[in-house]
Amino acid sequence: MSIGHVLDLLRCPLCRAPFTLEPGRVICAAGHAFDLARQGYLNLLGRAAPPHADTADMVAARSRFLGAGHFSAVSTVLAGLLPREEPTLLDVGAGGGHYVSQLLARRGGRAVALDISPAACRRAARAPGAIGAVVADAWAPLPLTDRAFDVVLSIFAPRQATEFARVMAPAGRLLVVTPLPDHLVELRAAFQLLDIAADKEVRLHESLGPHFRLVSRHERRCLLQLEAAAVHDVITMGPNAFHQDPAALTAQINTRPMPYPVTMSVAVTAWTAASVGS
């Protein structure tokens, strides 16, 4: 989808002015211009991507794993929590756009997929649906219009409550997906992966509480049976990729009997603005 279809939702990260679309770039009234990548995404970061940004290999692994349907239960729960048909969606930390694309396919509408990784936004710009992919920092002021989004998504991603509250429409919903303590527990034990903080859900409520009110909470668990390639992908599609030697990981996976049982265990929470009733 052309970035022009979501241009009204974007704001200049330098002066907050709206953009005008020109060939190969967008420009605001103050003259701040940002180039459109030939792959279709818009980079509003204004600097090089940081070392922790997802690499092309990580994005490809996530695309393969999610595309195989292993976490399809997450998309199903999210779709049931959308407040209306054809919503305007914001996915913060969208990666390659898998989840937001799934939601648009089910309910229509349009979306901004925001991620700090150019590699992720390249893939999100190709994802099916009315998606505009934008490179931006989820921890900085978001380059987005006030009160413009019916749904803000944070799926295994950073959460900046003040900015989420600013860009969400008054009757909108914030939908958050977080791992539960037993998520991927078999892999974390066998391959020395990053741990999940025991107080993760407490910190979620502490961070969102001043701006949002919890509407509902849903848990989804299932035991996946993964072949070696999928085990490799689920390990290397996230931050664990920065702590693994690819050849050593492949060799270690190949010593295990397959299929490998892996627990998917997540919580999906829905939030409304603190001053709005359910």
Instruction: Determine the Cα angle at 111 with ends 137 and 107, to 5°.
Output: 145
Architecture in CATH for domain 46-273 = 3-Layer(aba) Sandwich (3.40)
Q: What is the pTM of this model?
A: 0.95
Q: Tens digit of pLDDT for each residue in 187-197? A: 999 998 988 88
User: Could you tell me which residues are beta bridge partners of residue 262?
Assistant: 224
| pLDDT, tens digit (0-9, with 9 covering 90-100), for 96-143 | 999 999 999 999 999 999 999 999 999 999 999 999 999 999 999 999
* Strand 19-22 versus strand 212-226 pairing type: unpaired
Q: Is the pLDDT of residue 278 over 50?
A: no
Alpha helices, DSSP H only, in 50-152? 56-67, 72-81, 98-107, 118-124
In DSSP terms, 168 is beta-bridged to: 149
Angle, vertex CA 110, rays to CA 216 and CA 53, nearest 5? 80
Mean pLDDT of 45-57: 91
Contacting residues for 169 by C-beta, under 8 A, at least 6 apart? 88, 147, 148, 149, 150
Region 48-59 average pLDDT: 93
3-state secondary structure of 236: helix
